[in-house]
């Protein structure tokens, strides 16, 4: 029994420094930030996202422009095929079918390329916004004396007093005055140069 009491006392003594250490830890001040609101409402962000939407609208308009005549051609060819009642199509019809398929593939490729550019521009815009938000967090933490910032969407509930969204938004507006909406062209792999032989 004495051994058990001694072991319990030893365990309690071992735990005391950890408890004291935990009590000396400073009271943590936590702030929350609506990251999505910062990323979509900062002045430069709004301008960039509007430009991005115009780019996307241009792609949709081009898709319609290419699609309407193709649809009309497809309907005309289909009517001729139906009129054959299973008979062999003429060489002229076969050539027109082949030309239509090539036009259709070219149109799809063009839209795919344009859409890829818009997506690349979108990613580039988001990278610039993210790069501006990260240091804004640090500035707000230092200015407001908080120890931790968490995204609003990760919280179940919070008091309005701990919402630092406006602080971060103001800091981003101060530092991020413009956003480049056109991403650099993807780098092509450099052609391997053969080393010149020394003479």
Per-chain mean pLDDT for the chain = 84
The arithmetic mean of pLDDT across residues 139-168, rounded, is: 90
Strand partners, 30: 148
Residue 5 above 50 pLDDT?
Answer: no
Percentage of the chain exceeding pLDDT 90? 62
Cβ atoms within 10 Å, residue 48: 23
Q: What is the pLDDT of residue 150?
A: 92
40 vs 50: CA distance, rounded Å: 10
Instruction: Tell me which of 61 and 90 has the higher pLDDT.
Output: 61
Of the chain, the end-to-end C-alpha distance in Å amounts to 93
Residue located via tokens 């908080």:
146
Q: What is the pLDDT of residue 185?
A: 85
Three-state SS annotation for 184-199: CCCCCCCCCCCCCCCC
Residue 133 above 70 pLDDT?
Answer: yes
Q: Between vectors from CA 174 to CA 173 and to CA 177, what angle results, nearest 5°?
A: 70
The arithmetic mean of pLDDT across residues 11-15, rounded, is: 41
pLDDT digits over 15-28, tens only?
444 444 555 666 78
């Amino acid at each position: 029994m004495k051994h058990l009491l001694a072991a319990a006392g030893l365990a309690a003594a071992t735990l005391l420094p950890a408890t004291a250490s935990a009590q000396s830890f400073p009271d943590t001040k936590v702030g929350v930030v609506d990251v999505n609101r910062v990323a979509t409402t900062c002045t430069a962000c709004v301008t960039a996202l509007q430009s991005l939407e115009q780019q996307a609208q241009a792609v949709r308009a081009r898709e319609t422009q290419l699609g309407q005549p193709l649809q009309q051609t497809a309907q005309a060819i289909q009517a001729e095929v139906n009129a054959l009642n299973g008979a062999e199509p003429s060489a002229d019809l076969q050539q027109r079918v082949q030309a239509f398929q090539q036009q259709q593939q070219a149109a799809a490729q063009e839209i795919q390329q344009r859409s890829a550019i818009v997506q690349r521009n979108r990613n580039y815009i988001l990278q610039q916004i993210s790069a501006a938000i990260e240091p804004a967090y640090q500035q707000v933490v230092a200015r407001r004396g908080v120890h931790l910032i968490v995204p609003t969407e990760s919280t179940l509930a919070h008091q309005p007093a701990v919402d630092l969204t406006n602080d971060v938004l103001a800091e981003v507006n101060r530092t991020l005055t413009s956003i480049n909406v056109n991403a650099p062209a993807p780098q092509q792999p450099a052609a391997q140069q053969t080393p010149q032989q020394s003479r």
